[in-house]
């Protein structure tokens, strides 16, 4: 069993915190293979940004390399460098924007750069010429997301400029969907049309096209025509669907569980309050336990008075405001003992708690729940 804490791989004996995340590698592998089978001839770029959606950047990347993923996608330069320093060798695309002084580091670590404008592309060309090395880029087209990327209606200038670069290899061209995980796919289809029209530049000029990619998790599930040359599964890879509305055309299973242990048992007398702000009062004598995690670990404070956990296969509600490092769970008249396992996400017996439930309690989306699990929580990898 491998363990990752703060991106360092450590042994079982060194894990002192009772709170941990468990990742079942076989489930990640199964999800990857199902996505690969469903998208047929498309290359697959697993998205590993934000600590691999909370699953642990390095270990997930190592697994994806073993599974022969074609590319990896990350959000920022530091993530790419970390993977290279960990020995990952397959192509990595950094999806975020860049600063000019970062370009030498991209090239030094063989990371593909997102070129989102003619100015950015020219910067990359100049730096590559200065250091006498080739840069690898993917051209970013904005088809309606309005973040980074040249607008589709003026993209031809970027594509023409890329043909004049002598020190840049254009590996790919891509865009991103704004709402491919919704029931109404009209705008998503409009974005796909805009992107394909932009890419027709290559055919019109009798040029070989770079790798075309636009499909994220929602599109992989709902729009097969968007698979093109490469797909970019993010949250779907980890076994979580991107929304409640999306069609579940590929069956995936959550690979992550979040667990802790009971560290204290007490009886709380009627009329006593629990936690900061004294916002919860016991109406009668109850039995309660303390669990050592809180919003400092990513267990969101906004879930206070709503979040539930599993102990001995049964659901119990947390009471009082969630603290930075501890929560209190109301057992009513049941019993629990120090060392009993507490499931925050995952299954215990016949019951389970999902990421979607935590998102509902917190008033947010599953993406935020997963990516907010702090790196101080050890990741335990189970084969």
- CA–CA separation, 155 and 198 (whole Å): 7
Contact criterion met (CB below 8 Å) for 135 and 174: no
- Could you tell me the end-to-end alpha-carbon distance of the chain, in angstroms, rounded to an integer? 7
Catalytic residue among 34, 36, 49, 259: 49
Residue with structure tokens 């004996």? 13
The verdict on whether 49 is a catalytic residue reads: yes
Task: Please list, in sequence order, all residues whose beta carbon lies within 8 angstroms of the beta carbon of residue 377, skipping any fewer than 6 positions away.
Answer: 5, 17, 19, 20, 21, 258, 293, 297, 298
Residue 260: closest CA among 383, 359, 378: 378
Q: What is the CA radius of gyration of the chain?
A: 24
Active-site position among 68, 276, 281, 337: 276
Give the whole-angstrom CA distance, residue 276 versus residue 278.
5
Q: Are strands 168-174 and 211-215 parallel, antiparallel or unpaired?
A: parallel
Cα–Cα distance measured from residue 359 to residue 367, given in angstroms and rounded to the nearest whole number: 8
How far is residue 206 from each of residues 173, 199, 201, 247, measured CA to CA in Å? 17, 12, 9, 38
Residues with active-site annotation: 49, 276
């Amino acid at each position: 069993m491998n363990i990752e804490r703060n991106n360092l791989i450590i042994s079982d004996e060194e894990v002192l915190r009772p709170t941990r995340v468990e990742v079942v590698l076989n489930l990640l592998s199964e999800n990857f293979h199902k996505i690969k089978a469903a998208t047929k001839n498309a290359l697959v770029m697993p998205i590993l940004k934000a600590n691999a959606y909370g699953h642990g950047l390095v270990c997930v990347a190592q697994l994806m390399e073993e599974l022969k993923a074609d590319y990896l996608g990350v959000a920022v330069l530091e993530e790419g460098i970390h993977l290279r320093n960990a020995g990952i060798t397959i192509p990595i695309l950094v999806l975020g924007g860049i600063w000019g002084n970062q370009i030498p580091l991209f090239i030094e670590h063989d990371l593909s750069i997102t070129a989102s404008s003619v100015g950015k592309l020219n910067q990359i060309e100049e730096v590559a010429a200065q250091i006498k090395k080739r840069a690898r880029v993917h051209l970013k087209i904005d088809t309606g997301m309005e973040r980074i990327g040249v607008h589709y209606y003026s993209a031809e200038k970027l594509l023409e400029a890329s043909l004049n670069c002598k020190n840049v290899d254009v590996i790919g061209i891509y865009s991103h969907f704004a709402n491919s995980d919704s029931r109404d796919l009209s705008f998503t289809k409009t974005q796909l049309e805009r992107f394909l029209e932009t890419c027709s530049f290559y055919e019109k000029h009798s040029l070989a096209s770079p790798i075309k990619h636009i499909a994220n998790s929602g599109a992989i599930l709902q729009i097969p025509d968007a698979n093109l040359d490469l797909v970019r599964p993010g949250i779907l890879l980890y076994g979580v669907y991107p929304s409640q509305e999306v069609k579940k055309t590929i069956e995936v299973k959550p690979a992550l569980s979040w667990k802790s242990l009971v560290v204290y048992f007490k009886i709380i007398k009627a009329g006593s309050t629990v936690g900061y702000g004294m916002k919860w009062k016991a109406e009668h004598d109850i039995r309660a336990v303390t669990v050592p995690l809180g919003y400092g670990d990513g267990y969101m404070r906004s879930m206070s008075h709503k979040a539930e956990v599993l102990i001995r296969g049964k659901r119990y509600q947390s009471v009082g405001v969630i603290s930075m490092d501890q929560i209190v769970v109301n057992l009513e008249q049941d019993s629990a003992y120090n060392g009993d396992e507490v499931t925050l996400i995952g299954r215990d017996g016949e019951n389970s708690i999902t990421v979607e439930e935590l998102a509902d309690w917190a008033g947010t989306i599953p993406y935020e729940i997963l990516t907010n699990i702090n790196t101080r929580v050890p990741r335990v990898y189970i084969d």
